[in-house]
Amino acid sequence: MTSKLIKPFLLMILLTIATQFVGLIKNAFIAKIFGMGAEVDAYNLANTYTVSITNLAIPAIITVLIPFLTKRGDSVAERAAINTYVSFLLLGIAVAVGISIGSVSWILKNQSGLSETLTLTLSVIMILSVAQIYRVLTTVLTAFRQVKNDFLTAKIATFCSTIFSGVYIVTAKNPSILLVSLFLTISFMVEATILLIKNRGFSFRIQFKWGNRIFHKLVRQTGPVVFNSIVFQISLLFSTTLASFLGQGYVATLGYANQILSIIQALVLVNILTLVYPSMSRVFAKTVEVGKELFIKYTIVTNMLVIPLVVGIMTIGDLLTALLFERGAFTAADTQQVTLFMTMLGIGLPGLVLRDFIYRVYFSLGDTKMPSRISIFTIFGNVLLLLALTPIFNIYAVLVIPGFMNFASAWFAYRLLEKRIGRIDGQHRLIKQHLLIVFNASVMGIVLYYVKPELSFSPLVAFLLLVGIGIVVYGVLVALTQRSFIRTLRMKGASE
């Protein structure tokens, strides 16, 4: 990572840690009060269903709007295209949300005999659907900040939003999952308001110039992304719904496991992608060869952080889960189940890193069709494997297959990318460095595994000691085995 990016990256990490900490406090209270009960299943199901609405538009903002903003001029036609495009996305989401609320309202009013869990799920869906309009607006406003190299405002807004969303569950004497959902919805409004204030003078306005040719081009690029998102959301909803049928509490367990794994994604993957994607778009627009070097460098650096975190979760994840959630209605047995789910899901994270960076290369080249085609085949493969293997392996198929498909889609996307832009890694640095990362992280994991039973301190002290030992062991191993790669990073950072 270049010296220019280190300071904002560290500030982003600090803000992300603060946000995740507040979010964990909120989730700890949810776990304490509701445990693995039907309320949490309903809340997680509703959240998955409603988020799937906005996840049709958010990938388009990231993959189409950001590269266009980094390369745009300041002509009247370009400004009109941006205004129309953003207005088009917001209108589409508003219509989808209106249809969702109307459909759910009709079901609740006209269908008798619904189970308590289903009724609660539908009620939460109605509340959280409203939040999705503000999620899209927030993503648009964040994109405008990022192309101005302002990566901190969005993090500050998210931090404030997270604090607000947790106020009710922390302070209420007898909290309701419906009011938890309402406060979450209002928190998105708070986040959007902060960004609107910051974006005054540099943003967009509602405008509909349907005949604008640049707008037509943006829509053509958006089509494959949205289609891919539709297929992906169907696959996600299929997996989550399948888990709900396999046993009560599985959706809640997945939710808690994903909350912890999302810390890794938010701290490392999301922050690095947010920071480097606009730069990657600019570099690939000028020189593909330099872009290849950036891709290799950032992929290795990201997994150099992600893989040891995943191994750490495998070895001491039970301590973390217990510290966060094991109180009240959340039992020791729940801790073991969440840790198992978290470990199996975490195995797929390095593949997700590879795939996301490869897709960013395609997007930087202005190609949204190929990643969509690859994702479609991957998702169909995911669904077919789930249908074939879930009757045999039960919930474990739901946990393992998506991670396996992360690696499969990353490999397939990489091979096709090489056919387009030529050999990317002639010296096999990706393979060599990843093997070293896995070796170093595995040694760290073995050390933690044998040290862990020898510690007789309180869970918090034991966890902190193990984290410290893991950092030292892994840091020493990296210094011994990957010194030349780190030296290369410093040299490139200085030259950039």
Let me know: does 149 contact 4? Beta carbons within 8 Å: no
Residue 378 lies in a domain: yes
185 with 332, same domain: the answer is: no
What would the mean pLDDT of 67-93 be, rounded to a whole number?
Answer: 82
Q: Look up the pTM and report it.
A: 0.72
pLDDT(147) > 50: yes
Residue 478 confidence (pLDDT): 93
Residue 239 lies in a domain: no
Residue 228 confidence (pLDDT): 67
255 with 357, same domain: the answer is: yes
Residue 223: CB partners within 8 Å, gap ≥ 6?
none
Nearest 5°: CA angle at 153, between 95 and 308?
95
Placement of tokens 């947790």 in the chain: 166
Q: How confident is the model at residue 495 (pLDDT cuts 50, 70, 90)?
A: very low
Residue 203 confidence (pLDDT): 65
The torsion of the CA quartet 338, 339, 340, 345, rounded to 10 degrees, works out to: 90
Pick the range with the lowest mean pLDDT from 3-12, 414-423, 435-444, 475-484: 3-12
Q: Which of 229, 261, 277 is the last residue of a domain?
A: 229
Pick the range with the lowest mean pLDDT from 174-188, 341-355, 368-382: 368-382
Max mean pLDDT range (56-65, 376-385, 440-449): 440-449
Residue 306 lies in a domain: yes
218 with 365, same domain: the answer is: no
pLDDT(1) > 60: no
Q: How confident is the model at residue 274 (pLDDT cuts 50, 70, 90)?
A: confident
Residue 23 confidence (pLDDT): 84
314 with 373, same domain: the answer is: yes
Residue 319 lies in a domain: yes
What would the mean pLDDT of 127-135 be, rounded to a whole number?
Answer: 89
Round to whole Å and give the CA distance between 19 and 8.
16
What would the mean pLDDT of 492-496 be, rounded to a whole number?
Answer: 47
What would the mean pLDDT of 242-262 be, rounded to a whole number?
Answer: 81
What would the mean pLDDT of 90-94 be, rounded to a whole number?
Answer: 87
346 with 422, same domain: the answer is: yes
46 with 126, same domain: the answer is: yes
Let me know: does 149 contact 94? Beta carbons within 8 Å: no
Round to whole Å and give the CA distance between 70 and 286.
12
74 with 201, same domain: the answer is: yes
pLDDT in tens, 31-44: 888 877 778 878 88
274 with 410, same domain: the answer is: yes
258 with 193, same domain: the answer is: no
pLDDT(57) > 80: no
| Burial tier of 56 (Cβ tally within 10 Å: 0-12, 13-18, 19+) | buried
For 359, half-sphere exposure in the C-beta direction (CA atoms, 13 angstrom radius) is 24
Residue 235 lies in a domain: no
What would the mean pLDDT of 228-248 be, rounded to a whole number?
Answer: 73
What would the mean pLDDT of 78-83 be, rounded to a whole number?
Answer: 85
Domain ranges, residue 15:
1-34+38-229
Residue 191 confidence (pLDDT): 92
216 with 298, same domain: the answer is: no
Count of structural domains within the chain = 2
Q: Which of 199, 229, 259 is the last residue of a domain?
A: 229
Q: How confident is the model at residue 231 (pLDDT cuts 50, 70, 90)?
A: low
pLDDT(237) > 60: yes
Round to whole Å and give the CA distance between 452 and 195.
45
Residue 409: CB partners within 8 Å, gap ≥ 6?
351, 355, 374, 375, 378
Give percent of the chain above pLDDT 70.
Answer: 93
Residue 339 lies in a domain: yes
215 with 274, same domain: the answer is: no
486 with 440, same domain: the answer is: yes
Residue 240 lies in a domain: no
